[in-house]
Every structure is written in C-alpha cells, then in structure tokens.
Amino acid sequence: MQFKKLYEDPVIEESEFPPDSMAVVINSNSKNLYGVLYTVAGRGPHPAMVLLHGFPGTEKNLDMAHAFRRAGWNTLVFHYRGSWGSEGCFSFQNVLDDVKAAIEFVKSEETARRYRIDRDNIVLLGHSMGGFATLLTAADNMDIKAYVAIAPFDFGAMGKNSEKDDKALRFLQEMFKECIIPLKGTTVEELINEAIANSDKWSFVNNAEKLAEQKLLLIAAKKDNLSIPELHYYPLLNKMLKYNTENFEYIMLNSDHSFQDKRILLTEIIESWLEKQIKSESNIKSF
C-alpha cells in the first residue's frame, strides 16, 4: 500500500490484473446482499477493507472506497438486508449479522482466490450506524487486522435514554421517520423498540473492555449534531482510557457528521493509521 497514491491515478502497465469494480452477492441468513468490490491492479494478494455505510446509507462513502483502492485496498461496499435493494427486512440486529456475513465472505478461500485478497490483512471501517456495527463487531472479535469507527452512533445509549427522556425519544422518532424511506420490512416503532430492548448489550460503554483488546481507531466530529460527541464519543473514550490503550487511537476533527469539509484529511488519517497496522505489530501513539 502507498499513502501517496490515495489521490493519484494509478499507472497501469500491460497486465492481466487491471483495477476493476465487481458486482458481488453476499449470502446472509439465506438473503442476498448486493454490493461492489473495488479491486486493486496487480496479481496481489492485496489487503481488503469492508466499508460500512450508515443509516440508511444516503452517504455511501464511495469517494473513500476509490481512494483506498488506489492506495492498495480491495474495498467492499454492500447494502444490509432491507436496504437499497438487498433482500430481506431491515433491522439493527440484521445489520450486525450482515456485517459478519460480509467479513466471512471476504475471508473465504473462494473469494480470496478470485479477487486476490490477503486474508491475513482484512480491516473493517464504518461510518455512523456503520461505526456502531464496527464497534460491536470488534467487541465480538472477528479475528481481522483492525477496526475504524467514524462518528459511530450509539443505538444502545440512545435506546436507554429514550426510555426516560422524551427529548431523546423524539430525536429518534424524527430521525427514523426521515431515514426509513429507502428501507423495507420495518417501522419507526419497531426500530425504537429494538434499540430499547438491546440498550445494555449494544451500549458502547458496556463493550469498552472488549474493544480495548482490538486494534481500533475512533474518529469523531466536533460539530456532529447526530452522533453528538458528548453522548456517542466521550463516554466510550473515557471508559476505554481506563483499560490497556496500546491498541487504541482516537481523534476529533473540526467537522460535521459526514465530514463534508474534511473528506481528504479523514481519508489520509485512516490510511496512515492502517498502513502502520499492516506493516508492523507496533501501534502509533499519536497523530
């Protein structure tokens, strides 16, 4: 991988392995999830990234997918059950299960052989709800190289808050009502009830000790009005700092929830950190 190649078009020599964008179908609980695998030029094998979009996925971070592919990552972007044409019904638990199915797809011998993937160097990166799924997947230890959570949204904490705080409940109701349009098989009420029922299990703070065992980069946005740092970032950060932090790095950028004015910086920070995880077992201490 080459950091400087993030925003340079690759020079492709005559090769039987040019860069490509391949439509893929991932099986998750007998339902088809549809995605695209952006493959790197060259024989490989190449490290791989599973890139998770948020809720509902209006921002798919495809600029980052192309940038990471240019830097040397085979990058998978896919849609969870019940979203953007994928089969089945949408739910937060299905999102978590679908992420594990996507990782197993990338790790499989058949996929690795066909798309020239280095199965020893697979990472998971997610934004917003994708960051939520990244953190809970990391807590379950999927035996991959590293995890990056960008502006993660703590559905566990919000579920807990909505039980006792009408303002928090209205926040979820309004957000879910707006975002549910491209999703199928669910309702605003079902999603709120699911967050409440799983509030303890899904709480970031409750998973902090397990997360401290993983190589993890946590990125938040100072002006985020969705994954508000005081609710979704600092409680986890403060808890994790009580544990072994050798594997844990964190940063706050002066931007909004989607990092609209920091896309290049965001991608550079992530790539710089990931390169160190791939090249060495030692971890950076600061940016």
* Residues comprising the chain, all counted: 287
Whole-number pLDDT of residue 2: 62
Note whether 117 and 39 are within 8 A (CB).
Answer: no
- Calculate what percentage of the chain has a pLDDT beyond 90: 85
Whole-number pLDDT of residue 111: 98
Assess whether pLDDT exceeds 60 at residue 281: no
Segment 49-58 shows an average pLDDT of 96
Alpha carbon distance 285, 124 (integer Å):
21
- Comparing CA positions, the residue from 207, 188, 37, 199 lying closest to residue 111 is 37
Place 279 in a pLDDT band, splitting at 50, 70 and 90. Answer: confident
Whole-number pLDDT of residue 287: 24
Average per-residue pLDDT for the chain = 93
Burial class (CB in 10 A: 0-12, 13-18, 19+), 90: buried
* DSSP symbol at 5: G
Q: Which fold has domain 3-155+203-279?
A: Rossmann fold (3.40.50)
Segment 204-225 shows an average pLDDT of 96
Q: Token digits for 26? A: 């991932």
Q: Which amino acid is at 219?
A: I
Alpha carbon distance 219, 27 (integer Å):
30
Alpha carbon distance 147, 122 (integer Å):
9
Whole-number pLDDT of residue 13: 67
Note the pLDDT tens digit of each residue in 123-152: 999 999 999 999 999 999 889 999 999 999
Note the pLDDT tens digit of each residue in 67-112: 999 999 999 999 999 999 999 999 999 999 999 999 999 999 999 9
Whole-number pLDDT of residue 11: 73
Place 244 in a pLDDT band, splitting at 50, 70 and 90. Answer: confident
Place 246 in a pLDDT band, splitting at 50, 70 and 90. Answer: confident
Whole-number pLDDT of residue 14: 54
What phi and psi, each to the nearest 5 degrees, are found at residue 117? -105, 135
Whole-number pLDDT of residue 270: 97
